[in-house]
Structure 1
Amino acid sequence: MSEPLLSPGPPARRPVLSVVLLVGWLLWAVSAWWASPRQVDVAWLDRDLAAGRVSGWDRAQGWIDDGVFLGGIAQARTDRHGATIVWTTPGGQTRAVDLGADGTGPGSRLDGYTTRLTAVRPPGVDPGGPAPVLAVAVSVLAMAVGLVWLVALVTGPPPRHGTRWFWFWLGLLPPFGLGVLAWLYAECWRPPTGRIDRHSGLLGLAWGFAVGLVLSVVTIGLRAALGGNVVPGG
């Protein structure tokens, strides 16, 4: 007689899958941290201008973050009347400074920096530079990790510490894709205990919402404490 679907026993270790997902997640996390836009002060712009580290720039008003939930990074909403100056560096980073508090008319500090930047190069973040390429790479890595994890979740053995729906909702946990790491630990790395916890999809949805909210608040706090260069984000 075949073994019952939910009978206790050692879980599938899946070492190759574990390594692939972990390496993919690490590559995504490092790339996303590097490529995410950084809100900095005007001193950064002065230093980058003086050192010739402005490979492209534009004016913007707000951010487009439609792809952030799926692992992408925020993009500047370019606007020739915007009060935010966004620029890219040769290393592929994107930085931004909001000069709207100083006024936006002729003779304002925003106007002065726009003139200086135009003298260096015309407005428009260089489409062939490393920053756009990195942004695409971040999205591709996020999609690849998510797809591999989803296929493993759907086609693999039944989870031992929750239903598939529980892990589906928890796996979407923003930010940072930490739900995938939680699944790796619980289903691939955690030593077997002979116990099966059938947590429901509703519980996974609730946990995902609650933990995601806490992590978002913590991220905002860390950004305020450490600065936008250490904890980037649009």
Structure 2
Amino acid sequence: MLSVVLLVGWLLWAVSAWWASPRQVDVAWLDRDLAAGRVSGWDRAQGWIDDGVFLGGIAQARTDRHGATIVWTTPGGQTRAVDLGADGTGPGSRLDGYTTRLTAVRPPGVDPGGPAPVLAVAVSVLAMAVGLVWLVALVTGPPPRHGTRWFWFWLGLLPPFGLGVLAWLYAECWRPPTGRIDRHSGLLGLAWGFAVGLVLSVVTIGLRAALGGNVVPGG
């Protein structure tokens, strides 16, 4: 039962995080959203605040009224961003033109009652809930068969996307018991955690470059 709860919680988190994570798109997306009235909030920004990403949250725009990036939210709860700094940021620039157009629609600032801020909080809460339930199960449950508790702690903590939790579910909850197994040590879990995290980060960057920021979002 616990494994099902953890799996459902992880799936809810994964879908919510994918939907709510900021998407780096081209300016055509902004044109379409403006034409269709799909801008529920916007601001200019410079960079991203990703302090909570390690714990399963999503990146937030670092708002800056002089920033070269326009970030906007949609009524469906998505956040999109386009960098217009290549053509300059002064009066008469393309960035200035879009700022004027957006200001005519609504004043700058993310709608605090809109779905995007609510989704961002929900993603963080789901991540913390799944992590806490898994950690309690790891510490208070029976000794893991395939690795020490420290092994699973590092492997569950370090790789992104909560994939270490899925690995624990498969190896310790769903995989049928076999013969004698050498349990992996905490040091090996630490090494694997860093290695898997590095590989997944590189793969994510490559997929984002190949498929675009709308398919593989992230600040």
Superposition TM-score tier, normalisation by shorter sequence: over 0.9
Instruction: Quote the offset at 1:175 in angstroms.
Output: 1.6
- % same residue: 100
Cα shift at 1:167:
0.1
**How far, CA to CA, are the matches of 2:49 and 2:159 in structure 1?**
17
Give the SS at the match of 1:212.
Answer: helix
SS of residue paired to 2:72: strand
Q: What's 1:136 paired with? A: 121
1: distance between equivalents of 2:165 and 2:182? 18
1:202 partner SS: helix
Q: Secondary structure at the match of 2:82?
A: strand
Deviations 1:144-176 (A, max 9, x none): 000000000000000000000000000013321
- Partners of 1:184 and 1:104 lie apart in 2 by 50
Structure 2 residue 135 is matched with structure 1 residue 147: no
When structure 1 is superposed on structure 2, of 166-175 and 179-188 the one drifting more is 166-175
Out of 192-201 and 215-224, give the one that drifted further.
192-201
Task: Give unmatched runs, 5+ long, in structure 2.
Answer: none
Q: Does the aligned pair in 2 maintain the 1:69–1:174 contact within 8 Å? A: no
In 2, Cα distance between equivalents of 1:226 and 1:181: 25
CA–CA separation in structure 1 for the residues paired with 2:115 and 2:191:
39
- Tell whether the 8 Å contact from 1:222 to 1:231 is kept in structure 2 after alignment: yes
1:127 match: secondary structure: coil
Q: Is the 8 A contact 1:161 1:198 kept in 2?
A: yes
Residue matched to 2:112: 127
Q: Is the 8 A contact 1:55 1:87 kept in 2?
A: yes
RMSD: 0.6
1:171–1:180 Cα contact (<8 Å) kept: yes
1:121-164 CA-partner distances (Å, limit 9, x unpaired): 00001111000000000000000000000000000000000000
Listed as ranges, the gaps of 5+ residues in structure 1 are: 1-15
Cα offset, 1:195, TM superposition: 2.0
Any idea what SS the aligned residue of 1:187 has?
A: helix
Contact kept, 8 Å, 1:61 with 1:82, in 2: the verdict is yes
- SS in structure 2 at match of 1:27: helix
Distance in 2, Cα, partners of 1:148 & 1:195:
28
Match of 2:99 in 1: 114
Distance in 1 separating the partners of 2:158 and 2:167: 10
Measure how far apart 1:182 and its partner are: 0.2
Q: Distance in 2 between matches of 1:61 and 1:22?
A: 36
SS at match of 1:76: strand
| Higher Rg of the two aligned structures | 1
CA distance in 1, matches of 2:42, 2:159: 29
Q: Distance in 2 between matches of 1:60 and 1:53?
A: 19
| Separation of aligned partners in 1, 2:201 and 2:155 | 15
Q: Which of the numbers 74, 79, 82 marks the counterpart of 2:59?
A: 74
**TM-score (ref. length: structure 1):** 0.93
Q: Equivalent residue for 1:200?
A: 185
Shift, 1:198, TM fit: 1.7
Superimposed CA distance per residue, residues 187-222 of structure 1 (whole angstroms, 9 cap, x where no aligned partner): 000011032322111100000000110000000000
* TM-score, length basis structure 2: 0.99
Deviations 1:22-80, CA, capped at 9 Å, x for gaps = 00000000000000000000000000000000000000000000000000000000000
